[in-house]
Amino acid sequence: MVGLGSPILSLMFNGFDSAKERPSVKTTFPEGPEEPVFITPPPPCLWLLPLPGLAGSGSDGPRAPAWLASAIQLISAPSPGEPWLSPGLALRPISVRMPTRRWAPGTQCITKCEHTRPKPGELAFHKGDMVTILEACESKSWYRAKHHASGQEGLLAAGALREREALSADPKLSLMPWFHGKISGQEAVQLLQPPEDGLFLVRESVRHPGDYVLCVSFHRDVIHYRVLHRDGHLTIDETICFCNLMDMVEHYSKDKGAICTKLVKPKRKQGAKSAEEELAKAGWLLDLQYLTLGAQIGEGEFGAVLQGEYLGQKVAVKNIKCDVTAQAFLDETAVMTKMQHKNLVRLLGVILHQGLYIVMEHVSKGNLVNFLRTRGRALVNTPQLLQFSLHVAEGMEYLESKKLVHRDLAARNILISEDLVAKVSDFGLVKAERKGLDSSRLPVKWTAPEALKHGKFSSKSDVWSFGVLLWEVFSYGRAPYPKMSLKEVTEAVEKGYRMEPPEGCPGPVHTLMNSCWEAEPTRRPTFRKLAEKLARELRSAGATGHVEGQDADGSTLPRSQEP
């Protein structure tokens, strides 16, 4: 920043590109000293430099000469041992410190500039690369971080980073901004003007509803390719088949194959925003080449959940191939980018390839239902059950504070980490609080009466579900409302029926369950109150939460000692 209210040059620095030798300012004064001036400032503060030979004045005081703006430029630091200033010039610091944002370990950031020639100990990076903060250095302006693509660790400056942004849920955000819906061939021709080889769009056929047409500009003409449905796949030439339109467009963008030319430039539908561009800009778009997929570890409502590795890190990957469903899952992705809490499964990023890959942290011990069923009360003590319940309540308290409703809270959607931390997962149904949502996909035994009957969802309906989850936990994974059909459950609950406590369930916990099952939503506790009561109950239980076959610190015992 340069300010000239008097013959003084103010230089403000905040963040540098070199760990050991901070960048300098090189100034040349045609009307002043013949030799250039080198200035290497210390950490972020304001420096005042008297300017010799500053000429010009007027009614508003001294004016800066025209050469000054172009005479100041950031360059690399002088060699070690060179003086900060050339002889004859004095530099005087004043104590104006710039505020510096402190990032916690684990924070994911994007680099704002190029740094391809690092000094020893520094991290090399390109603009737009992703890194994870490992620790802050003693100087608040420096961090040690891990580069996502290279896997290397090193130092880099705070000024070279920006934190990943949360993605806004926007109805205009589209995985297929080139899809124009049902328009005629003539309308497509008009949209693909002026002619440009490789300019394209996809439309729904007017003559054949449900079919698609790929329209490509080539040699000042527009060629229309009908997309055929074959055995649940899409094809143009009946030789190469695709899972969906995104897969098809991705293929022909790399290889023209059976069409006239490669797809070069999408004609975006008016008002549509490219999800790919927005994800990349916000820092959530990952690179397919670094992802390795492994065995299936779960089954979600919209497809399999696979184990995998991304840059050496174990991950869980949800693959959604249906383009309509993938588009719907953008809302889930947007919600997850806003959530940072130890008791929520963390989103790592998204890959756009043959649909949508949602890449999440891998939580090693699986879901809470299976965890409890395979160990039972002989191996998992009551304080540990209270600990799991408290973790869930704290995660849900965070969602409650963000005015988000999970709508599918159940023990099957709670994952247990290696160090026995319970994390809320499966945000497929998460919505901001509102009324009138489709109830056809709702889990009846876990859903509050007002949500089933009137479609009224709120944090209070999540509290009802939490009461059912508590029953699951203290029954060691049994299905709620045993031996009752969905219709019987709905009718019984409406008439005031509430489940009896599981065997061995502490009285205060059963009282909590019943408070969650109040018929009037406003009489149910908040998640904050639930967390407070569970924490109090855990303290009064006295013993430490423990799972046989695992140390108290969460580390696994030798396999021979495991159950």
CATH code for the domain of 349: 3.30.200.20
pLDDT at 12: 40
pLDDT at 298: 77
- 459: in domain: yes
Q: Are 392 and 349 contained in the same domain? A: no
Q: Are 256 and 289 contained in the same domain? A: no
User: What are the two backbone dihedrals, phi and then psi, of residue 510, each rounded to the nearest 5 degrees?
Assistant: -65, -35
User: What are the two backbone dihedrals, phi and then psi, of residue 507, each rounded to the nearest 5 degrees?
Assistant: -55, -45
> Annotated binding residues for ATP, as ranges?
318
Q: Which one from 17, 408, 426, 462 is the annotated catalytic residue?
A: 408
Q: How far is residue 531's CA from residue 544's CA, in Å, rounded to a whole number?
A: 17
Q: What is the DSSP letter of 435?
A: B
Q: How far is CA 247 from CA 241, 316, 481, in A?
A: 9, 22, 44
The answer to whether residues 50 and 8 touch, using CB atoms and an 8 Å cutoff, is: yes
- Neighbouring residues of 269: CB distance < 8 A, sequence distance ≥ 6: 174, 177, 178, 179, 180, 181, 201
CATH code for the domain of 121: 2.30.30.40
Q: Are 342 and 416 contained in the same domain? A: no
Enclosing domain of residue 199: 173-265
Residue indicated by tokens 């991950």: 315
User: Would you state the structure tokens that stand for residue 253, as one six-digit string?
Assistant: 């963008």
Q: 133, 111, 134: which is closest to 124 by C-alpha?
A: 111
Q: How far is CA 502 from CA 466, 495, 510, 511, in A?
A: 15, 21, 9, 12
Domain boundary among 361, 389, 417: 361
pLDDT at 431: 58
Q: Are 355 and 376 contained in the same domain? A: no
- 293: in domain: yes
Q: Any bridge partners for residue 12, and if so which? A: 46
pLDDT in tens, the chain (563 residues): 333 333 334 444 333 333 344 444 444 444 444 444 444 444 444 444 444 444 343 434 444 444 343 334 333 334 444 444 444 444 444 333 444 567 888 888 889 889 989 999 999 998 888 888 999 988 768 999 998 778 889 999 988 998 888 877 677 788 899 999 999 999 999 999 999 999 999 999 998 888 899 999 999 999 999 999 988 889 999 899 998 899 999 999 999 999 999 999 999 999 888 888 888 888 899 888 889 999 988 776 667 789 999 888 899 998 887 777 787 777 778 878 888 899 999 888 999 887 888 899 999 999 999 999 999 999 999 999 999 999 999 999 999 998 889 989 999 999 999 999 999 987 655 655 444 445 556 799 999 999 999 989 999 999 999 999 999 999 999 999 999 999 999 999 999 999 999 999 999 999 999 999 999 999 999 999 999 999 999 999 876 666 665 544 444 333 223 32
> Annotated binding residues, as ranges?
318
CATH code for the domain of 379: 1.10.510.10
Q: How far is residue 464's CA from residue 408's CA, in Å, rounded to a whole number?
A: 11
pLDDT at 315: 93
pLDDT at 276: 87
Q: What is the DSSP letter of 6?
A: S
pTM: 0.69
pLDDT at 222: 96
User: What are the two backbone dihedrals, phi and then psi, of residue 139, each rounded to the nearest 5 degrees?
Assistant: -75, 130
Task: Report helix, strand or coil for 459.
Answer: helix
- 2: in domain: no
Q: Could you give the number of structural domains in the chain?
A: 4
Q: Is 426 a catalytic residue?
A: no
- 252: in domain: yes
**Ramachandran quadrant class, 39 (left: phi over 0; alpha: psi -120 to 50; beta: rest):** beta
Residue indicated by tokens 């969802």: 457
Q: Are 136 and 186 contained in the same domain? A: no
Q: How far is residue 453's CA from residue 448's CA, in Å, rounded to a whole number?
A: 9
DSSP symbols for 42-86: -SSEEEEEE-TT-----TTS----TTHHHHEEEEPPPPTT--SS-
Q: How many Å separate Cα 487 from the centre of its chain?
A: 39
Q: Are 199 and 253 contained in the same domain? A: yes
